Structure 1
Amino acid sequence: MSYILDQEQLDGLEEALTTDLMTLGIQSVILIDMAGNVIVNLDDGKVRHDVYSLAALAAGNFGAVSAMASIIGEEEFSLLFHKGKSENINFTKIMDDFLLVSIFGNDVSLGYLRLKIDEVIKKIKVLIDKSRSS
């Protein structure tokens, strides 16, 4: 499906991600489409990542993991999480077309983060659905 997001929707997405996720102490939140195109990119200003390479790799990683799920008879895996020594990354699929990538340190609880992601996904779906009805 094709989506055209206007500036009001993009501002709403940025506000929801800032309010619900960045305030938790997350280093970076990136909303991408499944082709790896960056839609919203927020960071704490301290750490700089190569966002475009990260987005492309995240989309590819998610695609590969989805293929593995299919091979073993699962529709998809609901949690994609990679734990590092000091940084962690969480991938959350939103509808069929978007992926939310969250990068955070060990000081952020994964359980609490996932709860907040579930809340923000509801807001994101409402904002994105506006582009379908336009």
Structure 2
Amino acid sequence: MMKAQLQFQFPEPGNWGRFILTAVFVDNNGFIKSRRFTQDDISQEQAETFKEVVTHIAVLSDEWKALQVWVRLEQVTVSPLPEEGEVFPESRDAVALTVEAVNARGGRRLFTSQDYSEFTMVDGAAVAFFNYFTTNNNDQ
């Protein structure tokens, strides 16, 4: 079964203020749907979460500028901190990024969480952002 994903396209690489967001998901009837949004279609709260995602993308060197970003929901295992009192690792939803970047010499490259651990986010706001576009839009 196809997993839901978000795709961000940046018409001007490095300009995070302009983007096209495409949500791809399976609707309640099992059909694959897609919805498109621009920066003007998201709420202020969603824009703040998007800025957090951008800070993770910004770890790329100055040489590389993100052109597209694919966002998927994955399960990751996290080990609790000793001060939290928990002993056993737990599984959580996480947002995983795959970034296609370009450089000034015309090069293209994909970067994943294998390259940058920052591309996996267990942050609740990032997961909620993903779910908003891939779950709530199922009924539209």
TM-score normalized by structure 2? 0.31
- Structure with the bigger percentage of helix: 1
Work out which of the two has the higher radius of gyration on C-alpha atoms and give 1 or 2.
2
